[in-house]
Amino acid sequence: MSAGARMRPVVVTRAEGDDGPLSRELRGMGLEVLSWPAVSIAAADHTALTAALAAVQDFRWIVFASRHAVAAVLERLPAAPAGVRIAAVGQATALTLRQRAWPVNLVPEEASAAALVAAFAAQWTPADAGARILFPASSRALPTIAAGLSQLGARVLQVEAYRTEAVTLDLAECRAWIARGAIGAVTFASPSAVTELAQALGEEDFERLLSDAAAVAIGRTTARELSARGHAAVVAESATLHGLALTTLRLMQTRP
């Protein structure tokens, strides 16, 4: 990009407002942001979660795959339960726990469900067979974690900690931007954001959007969802919002 040229705007599909953390990061880097929240985070029926936490000492592990799950659990259980080990998918989720004085015993190098299962497998022994694991999850959690840990011989209780729901977009405005070919990049912070944006826009407009704009995924699981729809994605250098923003900036600086 030539010096002084104005970079095209970046779409944020994450469930956050105009002044959400990813949007602030991108604006702080000098990028224009379009807020197209494809999903929202909503409260779940916490009956099953509350019951599980009342008997938390029955579990050997609690597995957290997102900061939303952390928030739902810590609202009901502020202090880490003694003797229960904690696993987190990604450094951002682990940091949220540590900021509340919860120890984190296992964090895979890659922030993905498959990497977490692999990390468990690497340390799993026959003595661990039958270990109970609590997995507070999204209403749309993929089966990778629960199924993978069950195959190791764990007894996994997956309970809904929060709901991931579709958001009604201003489709006329979105399609006007797409028709102009004026978008530089689209950021995706979850597979659900990919699914819901594709469904909201329709196959034709989703194809037009990502044929012109770069797709930037927070991690490999999200990138695989894009790949399954025929679109390559640039994966963030770290699976955090800062990493997603920084990768987007660097990509935009090199695009014509």
- Domains (ranges, CATH) in the chain? 10-36+169-254 (3.40.50.10090), 50-164 (3.40.50.10090)
* Residue 230 to residue 218: CA distance in whole angstroms: 18
3-state DSSP assignment of residue 160: strand
Distance CA 256, CA 254 (A): 7
Among 62-66, 110-114, 134-138, 172-176, the range scoring the smallest mean pLDDT is: 110-114
Annotate 26-69 with DSSP letters as a single string.
HHHTT--EEE---EEEEE---HHHHHHHHTGGG-SEEEE-SHHH
Q: Could you report the per-residue pLDDT of 65-119, keeping only the tens digit for each?
A: 999 999 999 999 999 999 999 999 988 899 999 999 999 999 998 888 889 999 9
pLDDT digits (tens, 9 = 90+) for 12-69: 999 887 789 999 999 999 999 999 999 888 889 999 999 999 999 999 999 999 999 9
What's residue 24's pLDDT? Answer: 95
On average, the pLDDT of the chain sits at 92
158-181: average pLDDT? 93
Q: Given pLDDT bands bounded at 50, 70 and 90, which one contains residue 5?
A: low
pLDDT at 149: 98
pLDDT tens digits, one per residue of 186-245 = 999 988 899 999 999 999 999 999 999 999 999 888 999 999 999 999 999 988 889 999
**Residue 13 token pair:** 């599909």
